[in-house]
Structure 1
Amino acid sequence: MSSTTRAVRTDGGGGSVHRRGRGVRDQVVPTTLLPAVVLAVLGGLAAIAAFPPYDLWMLLPFAIAGLNAAVLTRRWQAAALTSLLWGLAFFVPLTIWAKTYAGVGPWLALGAFQALYIVVYGLLARAVLVRRGITLGSGIVVAALWVGVETLRSTVPWGGLSWGSVSFALSSSPLLNLGPWIGTAGLSFVVALLGQFLCGGILALLGRRHRGVTGLSGVWPMATVIGVVIGTMVVPMPKNPPPTGDSTLTVAGVQGNMDRIDPESLEMPDIFPHQLEATDAATSRVAGNGGSLDLVVWPEDSTGWDPRKDPARGQAITSEAQKADAPIILGTQTPTDDGGRYNNSLLWTQQGEVDGVYAKRHPVPFGEYIPYRSFFRTLSDKVDLISSDMKAGKEPGVFDVDGHGVGILICFEIAYQDLVHDVVDDGAQVIVVQSNNALFGDSDEAIQQVAEAKVFAVVSGRSVVHVSTVGQSAIFTPEGRTLDYQDHWTQGSVVADVPLRTGITPAVAAGHWPEIVLSGLGLAGVLLAGAGGRRAVAPARRRRDRAAATAAGGRG
Structure 2
Amino acid sequence: MSRSGLPGQPGGLLLSLLLGACWPLAFAPFGWSYLAMVLLAALFFLVQDSSPRVAAQRGYVFGFAAFAAGTYWIAITLHQFANMDWFLAGALVAFLAAYCALYPALALWLAARFFRGGARLLALPVLWVLGEWLRARLLTGFPWLATGYSQTGALLGGFAPWLGQYGVGLATAAVAAILAALAVRRSPLAMTAGGAALAALYGAALAAATVSFTHPSGAPLQVRLLQGNVPISEKWDAPKLDAILLRYATLIAATPPGTQLVVLPETAFPVFQTEIPQFIDNLRRWSAAHHSTLIIGMPEVAGRDYYNAALEIDSLAPLRWYRKQHLVPFGEYIPLPWLLASLVHNFMPGLGSFTVGRGASVLPVGGEQAGMSICYEESFSRDVRKGVVQGANFLVNISDYAWYGHSIAAAQSLQMAAMQAREEQKPDVRATNTGITALITPAGRVAVQLPQFVEGALDGKIQPMAGQTPFGRWGEWPFLAMALLLLALAYLPAIKRRR
Same fold (TM over 0.5): yes
What does the per-residue CA deviation read over 1:359-382, in whole Å, with 9 as the maximum and x for residues that have no partner?
111001122111013434687776
Q: 1:377 to 1:99 in 2, by over 3 A?
A: same
The separation in 2 between residues aligned to 1:285 and 1:404, in whole angstroms, is: 21
Q: Give the alignment partner of residue 228 of structure 2, picking from 242, 256, 266.
A: 256
Runs of 5+ consecutive residues of structure 1 not aligned to the other structure: 5-28, 206-213, 535-556
Could you tell me which amino acid in structure 1 is paired with residue 448 of structure 2? D
AA aligned opposite 2:38? F
What is the Cα deviation at residue 444 of structure 1? Answer: 1.2
- Equivalent residue of 1:434, what SS? strand
In the alignment, structure 1 residue 163 sits paired with structure 2 residue 129: no
**2:212 aligned with 1:238:** yes
Q: How does 1:75-474 map to 2 (within 5 A)?
A: 75-102=51-78, 103-129=89-115, 131=116, 133-134=117-118, 138-157=120-139, 159-205=140-186, 214=187, 217-218=190-191, 220-221=193-194, 224-225=197-198, 228-229=201-202, 232-233=205-206, 235-243=209-217, 246-261=218-233, 273-274=243-244, 276-277=246-247, 280-281=250-251, 284=254, 286-287=256-257, 292-315=258-281, 317-318=283-284, 321=287, 324-335=290-301, 337-338=303-304, 340-351=305-316, 354-376=318-340, 384-385=348-349, 387-474=351-438
Cα distance 1:324–1:482, how it changes in 2: closer, same or farther (>3 A)? farther
Letter of the structure 1 residue corresponding to residue 29 of structure 2 = P
What is the aligned-residue identity percentage? 24
Letter in 2 for 1:334: E
**Per-residue deviation, residues 261-319 of structure 1 (Å, max 9, x unmatched):** 38xx96587577456535644653634xxxx1001001111101122432243245346
Contact 1:368 1:386 in 2 (8 A): no
Task: Verify the 8 A CA contact 2:48 2:121 in the aligned structure 1.
Answer: no
Q: Distance in 1 between matches of 2:195 and 2:344?
A: 48
Q: Post-superposition shift, 1:516?
A: 3.0
Code of the residue aligned with 2:395 in structure 1: it is I
Structure 2 residue aligned with 1:497? 461
Answering whether residue 35 of structure 2 is matched by residue 70 of structure 1, we say: no
1:329 partner letter:
I
- Identify which range, 373-382 or 56-65, moves more after superposition: 373-382
| Worse-superposed segment, 79-88 or 271-280 | 271-280
Cα pair 2:227 2:433 within 8 Å, conserved: yes
439-448 or 169-178, larger mean C-alpha shift: 169-178
Give the alignment's TM-score, normalised by structure 2: 0.88
- Counterparts of 2:288 and 2:410 in 1: how far apart (Å)? 31
In 1: Cα distance, 2:151 partner to 2:202 partner: 12
1:152 Cα deviation after fit: 0.7
Structure 2: distance between partners of 1:283 and 1:216: 68
Alpha-carbon distance in 2 for matches of 1:31, 1:204: 18
Q: CA deviation at 1:95?
A: 1.5
Give, in whole Å, the separation in 1 of the partners of 2:486 and 2:342: 39
The 1:191–1:271 alpha-carbon spacing in structure 2 relative to 1, beyond 3 Å, is farther
Q: 1:424 to 1:177 in 2, by over 3 A?
A: same
Letter in 1 for 2:356: A
Look up the SS of the partner of 1:286 in the other structure: coil
CA distance in structure 2 between the partners assigned to 1:370 and 1:522 by the alignment: 39
> Given that residues 181 and 459 in structure 1 are in contact (C-alpha distance below 8 angstroms), is that contact kept between their aligned partners in structure 2?
yes
Q: Identify the residue that residue 542 of structure 1 maps to in structure 2.
A: none
- In structure 2, distance between residues paired with 1:272 and 1:123: 57
Instruction: Quickly say closer, same or farther: Cα 1:311–1:378, change in 2 above 3 A.
Output: closer
With over 3 angstroms needed to count, the CA separation of the structure-2 counterparts of 1:480 and 1:182, relative to structure 1, is: same
Q: Distance in 2 between matches of 1:380 and 1:525?
A: 48
CA RMSD of aligned residues (A): 3.0
Deviation at residue 405 of structure 1 after TM alignment = 0.8
**What is the identity, as a one-letter code, of the residue corresponding to 2:220?**
T
Task: Tell me if the contact between 2:330 and 2:352 (Cα under 8 Å) persists in the aligned partners.
Answer: no
Q: Which moved more, 1:222-231 or 1:342-351?
A: 222-231
**Aligned AA for 2:468?**
I
- Greater C-alpha Rg: 1
Q: Which range moves more in the overlay, 193-202 or 102-111?
A: 102-111
Aligned length: 485
The corresponding residue for 1:57 is 33
Aligned match of 2:18 in 29, 42, 51?
42
Which SS does the other structure have where 1:357 is aligned? Answer: strand
Tell me, what secondary structure is at the counterpart of 1:261?
helix
Distance 1:118 1:83, change over 3 A: same
1:475 touches 1:484 (CA, 8 Å); kept in 2? yes
| Distance in 2, Cα, partners of 1:267 & 1:70 | 53
The higher relative CO (CA closer than 8 Å, separation ≥ 6) is in 1
Residues 256 and 75 of structure 1: CA distance in aligned 2, closer, same or farther (over 3 Å): same
Note the alpha carbon deviations across 1:526-555, whole angstroms, 9 max, x for none.
765665658xxxxxxxxxxxxxxxxxxxxx
User: What is the alpha-carbon distance in structure 1 between the residues aligned to residue 70 and residue 333 of structure 2?
Assistant: 22
Q: Which residue type is aligned with residue 145 of structure 1?
A: L
- Name the CA distance, whole Å, in 2 between partners of 1:250 and 1:508: 25
Change over 3 Å in CA distance of 1:276–1:126 after alignment to 2? farther
The 1:323–1:198 alpha-carbon spacing in structure 2 relative to 1, beyond 3 Å, is farther
